[in-house]
Amino acid sequence: MRRVVLDFCLVLLSLHTPGVLSLSTHVAIVYPQDPVLRVGSNLTASCWVHPDLGVHASSLFWTLNGQQVPGSLYRVLSPSNLSLTLVGLNASRQTSGDNLVCHNHKGHILAGSCLYVGMPPEKPVNLTCWSRNTKDLTCGWAPGGKGETNISTQYRLKYKLRWYGTEKACEDYSHAQPYSCSITQDLHLFTPYEIWVEASNQLGRATSDVIILDILDVVTTDPPSGVLVSRVGQLEDQLSVRWEAPPALKDFLFQAKYQIRYRLEDSQDWKVMDDVGNQTSCRLAGLRPGTVYFVQVRCNPVGIYGSRKAGIWSEWSHPTAASTPHSERLMSGSCDSKSSGDSNSTLRRELKQFFGWVRKHAYGCSSMSMKLYDQWRVLMQKSHKTRNQVLQGDKS
Ligand SMILES: *[C@@H]1O[C@H](CO)[C@@H](O)[C@H](O)[C@H]1NC(C)=O
Ligand SMILES: *[C@@H]1O[C@H](CO)[C@@H](O)[C@H](O)[C@H]1NC(C)=O
Ligand SMILES: *[C@@H]1O[C@H](CO)[C@@H](O)[C@H](O)[C@H]1NC(C)=O
Ligand SMILES: *[C@@H]1O[C@H](CO)[C@@H](O)[C@H](O)[C@H]1NC(C)=O
Ligand SMILES: *[C@@H]1O[C@H](CO)[C@@H](O)[C@H](O)[C@H]1NC(C)=O
Ligand SMILES: *[C@@H]1O[C@H](CO)[C@@H](O)[C@H](O)[C@H]1NC(C)=O
Ligand SMILES: *[C@@H]1O[C@H](CO)[C@@H](O)[C@H](O)[C@H]1NC(C)=O
């Protein structure tokens, strides 16, 4: 038997047998043609062959997606009509449908039909919208229920201005991101939008909840540009980060809010500093000496034209790498562990205390506490040197 596997659904209506039939006559037909059915339903299809073909229905067989269907599901209705009953239909493997094909005893295709087996859409959920620099309004959603309907389903994003608008449909569906659409024209600031999604297919339709929003409340922006990470003198546990406000919003009245996150070169765990406020520079402290760090910054344009909503964070900037200086003591490496053990543990205790304090008070970008911290560092370095001198004095 010749096995026929079709990747997409083709409806083949006629077999040309010149001289026997005119080309316009169907020699065979599968009924029903291209039905749309719910998952779990039953289907009785029939394959009728023209009597002039001299083919008896009992010699025919069926395939579904290239797989022969067992003869126990067939019934010969008449010498020219063979039926097939499928019980509890599975969802279509592809939205282009399943191939139900009727073959003659040699395996040649006589006729076919596409089966579209799926479910009506469920109510779309998680509709959220954002506006990049107030230049568009993009909304994304998730299909309801378990996800797919397994048949072709259209999602339409609809919107209107709250008080006097007429209903409009979003046109610009994203090819890169499924279930999203961008409104790019005739945007109105200071007027609430009503937005919803309508899902429909041949088995039914469903509408999401309506959300109401003002573009200025959902503004997001580009990540900060020109992120620079540099050392703070010889301070081996610190890096300084600076960046520029997003240029696209430079003509807007708003309060930017920033976040920094950083991680060790060989770690996937980001540490987030979310108390950076609206400054465009910040000091990272408590880092490991002689270590490469990756740093990213993002921006939240809060309060555009006085909006009171939280704003939406931008993407993170591209990671910028920098390394902290090697610690002096590590580099010198000359200390005898026995003789300097005391000073090491004392220093560590002090450092631990101070980092505890730093975490509570100075951690972040308050310039006041950074100043204090710098002073403390100078003191510590001095006392460390003195101690080493004392110890070395003891040794000799
Ligand atoms: C499908 O057929 C089975 C067995 O004949 C029957 O029990 C079931 O109720 C039918 N289902 C539907 C949806 O008609
Ligand atoms: C073949 O049988 C089916 C099922 O009984 C029927 O609906 C259809 O009309 C028949 N076709 C022909 C051409 O007789
Ligand atoms: C549905 O899928 C199951 C498992 O793959 C299979 O056993 C069954 O025959 C399928 N039913 C139909 C009607 O194709
Ligand atoms: C129906 O669609 C879902 C989601 O795309 C898929 O995971 C599932 O395999 C499909 N069902 C069948 C029978 O192909
Ligand atoms: C919708 O959002 C909720 C809460 O954020 C989440 O738990 C759920 O997985 C989302 N549903 C879909 C289909 O994405
Ligand atoms: C930063 O915020 C403070 C208080 O929240 C405000 O006084 C200051 O003007 C802001 N600076 C910038 C550049 O927005
Ligand atoms: C200080 O303590 C650390 C950690 O316990 C240890 O690795 C190091 O060798 C010590 N250094 C000195 C100089 O004792």
**Using CA positions, which residue lies closest to atom 3 of ligand 3?**
90
CATH code of the domain containing 287: 2.60.40.10
Query: Which two tokens mark 220?
Result: 């997001």
Who lines ligand 4 at CB under 6 A?
90-91, 93, 147-148, 150
Same domain as 240, residue 186: no
User: How far away, in angstroms, is 12 Cα from ligand 1 center?
Assistant: 29
Q: Pocket around ligand 2: residues whose beta carbon is below 6 Å from it?
A: 31, 46, 48, 77, 81, 83
Q: Name the residue range of residue 140's domain.
A: 125-217
Q: 59: helix, coil or strand?
A: helix
Q: Judge if 249 and 308 occupy the same domain.
A: yes
Ligand 1 mutation target, pool 37, 42, 83, 119, most atoms within 8 A of CB:
42
Query: What is the percent of the chain where pLDDT is above 90?
Result: 56
Q: What is the pLDDT of residues 93-142, one digit of tens each?
A: 888 899 999 999 999 999 999 999 999 999 999 999 999 999 999 999 99
Do 34 and 114 belong together in one domain? yes
Best residue among 63, 72, 90, 93 to mutate for probing ligand 3, ranked by most atoms within 8 Å of CB: 90
Q: Where are the alpha helices (DSSP H) in 18-111?
A: none
Q: Residue 300's Cα: distance from chain center in Å?
A: 20
Pocket test for ligand 7, best of 288, 344, 349, 350 (most atoms within 8 A of CB): 344
User: From CA 219, how far away is CA 13, in angstroms rounded?
Assistant: 55
Residue with tokens 């339409």: 156
| Domain C-terminal end among 295, 323, 351 | 323
**Residue located nearest, by CA, to atom 12 of ligand 4:** 93
The three-point CA angle 266-268-274 to 5° equals 120
- Are 311 and 237 found together in one domain? yes
Output the CA 94–ligand 4 centroid distance in Å: 8
Q: Which residue has the higher pLDDT, 354 or 395?
A: 354
pTM over 0.75: no
For residue 159, being part of any structural domain is answered with yes
Residue 188 forms part of a structural domain: yes
In a shared domain, residues 281 and 317:
yes
Ligand 5 pocket member 302 (CB < 6 A): no
Q: Are residues 105 and 32 in the same domain?
A: yes
Region of 226 (left: φ > 0; alpha: ψ -120 to 50; beta: rest) is: left
Judge whether 272 lies within some domain: yes
Give nearest CA residue, ligand 4 atom 1.
150
228 in the same domain as 156: no
Atom of ligand 7 at shortest range from CA of 336: 13
Q: What pLDDT is stored for residue 341 in this prediction?
A: 45
pLDDT for 339 equals 39
306 CA → ligand 6 middle, Å? 14
Closest by CA to 141, choosing from 111, 105, 170, 98, is 170
**Which of 242, 244, 255, 281 should be mutated for ligand 6, with most atoms under 8 A from CB?**
255
Any domain includes 342: yes
Which residue's alpha carbon is at the smallest distance from atom 7 of ligand 5? 126
- Which residue lies with its CA nearest to atom 5 of ligand 5? 126
What is the distance between the alpha carbons of residues 396 and 392, in angstroms, rounded to a whole number?
A: 6
- Say if strands 154-161 and 193-201 run parallel, antiparallel, or are unpaired: antiparallel
11 inside domain: no
Which pLDDT tens digit goes with each residue over 148-188? 889 999 999 999 998 888 999 999 998 778 899 999 998 99
Chain segment 277-297, per-residue pLDDT in tens? 888 899 998 899 999 999 999
- Using the mean position of ligand 2's atoms as its centre, give its distance from the Cα of residue 107 in Å: 22
What span, in angstroms and rounded, lies between the C-alpha atoms of 311 and 21?
A: 72
Please tell me whether residues 227 and 278 are part of one structural domain: yes
Nearest to 392 by CA among 345, 316, 339: 339
Query: Phi and psi at residue 155, in whole multiples of 5°?
Result: -115, 125
Identify whether 111 is part of a domain.
yes
Q: How many Cα atoms are found within 13 Å in the side-chain-facing hemisphere of 310?
A: 3
CA 14/CA 11 separation, integer angstroms: 9
Q: Are residues 212 and 225 in the same domain?
A: no
Q: Is residue 278 lining ligand 6, measured as CB closer than 6 Å?
A: yes
Q: How far is CA 129 from the centre of its chain?
A: 14
43 belongs to a structural domain: yes
Q: Is 110 left (phi over 0), alpha (psi -120 to 50) or beta?
A: alpha
Q: What is the pLDDT of residue 1?
A: 40
Nearest ligand to the C-alpha atom of residue 93: 4
Residue 149: which region, alpha, beta or left (left: phi > 0; alpha: psi -120 to 50)? alpha
Q: What ligand 5 atom has the least distance to the C-alpha of 126?
A: 1
Domain end marker among 150, 184, 217: 217
CA max distance for the chain: 118
- Indicate the burial class of 16 (C-beta count within 10 angstroms; 0-12, 13-18, 19 or more): exposed
**114 with 39, same domain?**
yes
Residues 6+ apart with CB under 8 A from 175: none
Bridge-based pairing state of the strands 74-78 and 292-302? unpaired
Q: Specify the pLDDT at position 148.
A: 80
* Domain termination residue (choose one: 168, 201, 217): 217
| C-alpha 390 – ligand 4 centre gap (Å) | 76
Residues touching ligand 7 (Cβ under 6 Å) are 335, 337, 340-341, 344
Spatial neighbors of 386 by CB under 8 A, at least 6 apart, are: none
Give the chain's domain count. 4
In this predicted model, which residue has the larger pLDDT, 359 or 52?
52
CA distance 136 to 22: 59
Tell me the ligand closest to 149's alpha carbon. Answer: 4
Looking at the structure, do residues 227 and 318 belong to the same domain, yes or no?
Answer: yes
- In the structure, what pLDDT confidence band is assigned to residue 65 with cuts at 50, 70 and 90? very high
Position 387 in a domain = yes
As a whole number, the mean pLDDT across the chain is 82
Does residue 206 sit in the same domain as residue 158?
yes
pLDDT, tens digit, 9 for 90 and up, residues 311-344: 899 999 999 999 999 876 543 333 333 334 455 6
